[in-house]
Structure 1
Amino acid sequence: MLDFWNNYPIIQKRLQAVCSLIEQRVTIDNREIQEALLDFTRSGGKMLRPAFFLLFAELAEEKRVSETGLLELAASLELLHMATLVHDDIIDDSPLRRGEVTIQARYGKDVAVYTGDLLFTIYFEILIEHINGSPFMAENAQAMKRLLLGELDQMQTRFLPTKTLDQYLNSITGKTAELFRLACVEGAYFGGADENTQQLAATIGQNIGIVFQIYDDILDYVSSTATLKKPALEDLAQGIYTLPLLLARQADPAAFEPYLNEQITKQEAKKVARLVKHYQGVKKAKAFAQTYIDEALVAIQQLPAGPAQQMITQLADQLLKRTY
């Protein structure tokens, strides 16, 4: 799970501590749910959200919480992320996540629902322990609300042949970018950064989150199931029309029309993928993402200079300049 962080030894050690804290927090008497939680915790996520939190917490000297508090708040972000993924897999009936059988596929939807709910409660327990009375209690609640509204926006537009770019952006700004934004701005705040740095952190996190989701949506069209570690073209099959398709459709709406108003077969999904490739949907999606990449990188250069800013720059370069 932490191989990604070999070039960031300080963060790697602290993320290992975050992983240990998560495992301690998910220890419960119910053996079945305990196994489900530990399996998911160890299933290979990159821990990006807690990593961004910890990096932004290093931008200033006067921390607002202890080192243990910082690590636990970093863990809370990953727990919130995990909870949303567990529930996503239930909704999508997904068989795989990170190359492993999902909790809902292995244990059933009932266990998966309770597992996701339990992760949400542990997330709020950590917040109460460390930031009760802080303005970030309300900030976390609002972020969770925006995240869920993003998911609901996406559900509302499933199998909608007239889905727009604005609808797509509204959805991903909530369901993906919001948690990156929260991680960055919360890290800056509890690390003791000033208000201007916090605002930069919010801008950076949101833009990185938007690009991260766009790249994930591109991967659905250019990668195999083995590479993705989940079924390829799964979003398309679920009626979730993402940026590469939306941009390709603009060139020839009639070509896509037969496939975008109902569930389609695997063969039909492959036809749509070929249409996306033919009309350069992936290339156009990369170009579309560039505006957000540029805005994030400009804001990063305005952060307080030092090792943390350098590491944020390196990490952003890795995430924002991926090739396929």
Structure 2
Amino acid sequence: MKQTYFPYNPALKQALLSVSNLMEAKIKTRDGQLEGALQQMATNGGKFLRPAFFWLFASLNGQPTEEKRPPLIKLATSIEVLHMATLIHDDIIDDSPKRRGRVSIQAKFGKDVAVYSGDYLFTIFFDLITTTTEGTPFLTINAKVMHRILRGELGQMADRFKQNQSLLAYLRNVNGKTAALFSLAASEGAHFGGADQRTVTLAKQIGQNVGIAFQILDDILDYSSGDRLNKPVLEDLATGVYSLPLLLALKTDPTELTPLLNKGRQMTLSDMERVRELVVNIGGVDQARQLATAFTKKAEEKINRLPAGSSQQALNKLCKHLLKRNS
């Protein structure tokens, strides 16, 4: 478990350790192969960013009491479990050989075990939220978030190899597959931490903006420093997922890009490297970075309207760390 995006915070560190321990207990199963796959995913270098986000919003009015901690830990864990399940299924769909620099579950254990692993995590997710959100609107909200995530993934699949994809379509997909979970973590944390409705609404908006900025910066890293993320450079390009830098470069100057992209799955490594060069030279990366900065600034403006305190300060630092991910 890493905490790359957060300053040292003893209370947060303890909360994330509790999340990690609960997750480890929940993924135990009598099927040795399934448990092995889940253990690999749980210890595969995740940063626990979303549960940390949840905890910071749950702590806006001070650290939760010992009485309130157990249900909050369950909710924070549910968010990471849902995130893990979507990652496993993503790797199956993309036939990805690696996840976080290590062999992916589907590559190591096979697609059958990977599918069952993702499904098993969904059952853990439902168990965690049904025991903590009953009598609140968040049982329904969690269901709607799952629907948004699926819509985002379906939208991305429908837009594969589509060179005329609009910025609106890109943002709609990102709102589902990435921003929805950040928004849930923030608003759910604020609500169950005892914040008023105004703050819960602010939290939801902050999570959405941070999630969009996070995905854009992830897209940029494919073109600028993929090795640092331990993911194959331009893996998305190889599967026809056109991320923001490429889409912006296409709108600016498609002359040399179009013939290369027209090759579809027949693109060679040399072709992909040329696309990478063109996207950078045309300015797609710089334009994408500007958009990520704009969404981050929106989040920062709203964070400044939250109750003052250590959690608000940590959230402000988070936004600055996010912007540094591509430097």
Q: TM-score, normalised by structure 2?
A: 0.95
Task: Return the offset for 1:165.
Answer: 0.9
- Residue identity matched to 2:18: A
Number of residues of Structure 1 aligned to a counterpart in Structure 2: 323
1:1-324 to 2 correspondence within 5 Å? 1-4=1-4, 5=6, 7-60=8-61, 66-224=68-226, 226-261=227-262, 262-263=264-265, 264-324=267-327
- Structure 2 distance, partners of 1:3, 1:46, is 5
Task: Return the offset for 1:316.
Answer: 2.1
- Structure 2 distance, partners of 1:30, 1:175, is 30
- Residue identity matched to 1:171: N
User: Is residue 53–residue 185 contact of structure 2 (8 Å, CA) maintained in 1?
Assistant: yes
- Structure 2 distance, partners of 1:236, 1:182, is 29
- Structure 2 distance, partners of 1:302, 1:177, is 20
User: Is residue 3–residue 49 contact of structure 2 (8 Å, CA) maintained in 1?
Assistant: no
Task: Return the offset for 1:136.
Answer: 0.2
Which deviates more, 286-295 or 139-148? 286-295
Task: Return the offset for 1:62.
Answer: 10
What SS does the corresponding residue of 1:275 show, helix, strand or coil? helix
- Residue identity matched to 2:242: Y
User: Is residue 78–residue 128 contact of structure 2 (8 Å, CA) maintained in 1?
Assistant: yes
Which deviates more, 57-66 or 305-314? 57-66
- Structure 1 distance, partners of 2:320, 2:239, is 32
- Structure 1 distance, partners of 2:252, 2:137, is 47
State percent identity of aligned pairs: 49
Task: Return the offset for 1:321.
Answer: 4.2
Q: Deviation digits for residues 69-112 of structure 1, max 9, x if unmatched?
A: 10110000000000000000000011111111000000000100
- Structure 2 distance, partners of 1:3, 1:131, is 27
- Structure 2 distance, partners of 1:179, 1:274, is 32
User: Is residue 225–residue 326 contact of structure 2 (8 Å, CA) maintained in 1?
Assistant: no
- Structure 2 distance, partners of 1:134, 1:61, is 22
Q: 1:19 to 1:150 in 2, by over 3 A?
A: same
- Which runs of 5 or more structure 2 residues have no equivalent in the other structure? none
User: Is residue 208–residue 292 contact of structure 1 (8 Å, CA) maintained in 2?
Assistant: yes
Q: Deviation digits for residues 239-287 of structure 1, max 9, x if unmatched?
A: 0111101111122122211132421221111110011011011111111
- Structure 2 distance, partners of 1:208, 1:275, is 28
- Structure 1 distance, partners of 2:64, 2:195, is 8
User: Is residue 148–residue 175 contact of structure 1 (8 Å, CA) maintained in 2?
Assistant: yes
Task: Return the offset for 1:319.
Answer: 1.6
User: Is residue 208–residue 320 contact of structure 1 (8 Å, CA) maintained in 2?
Assistant: no
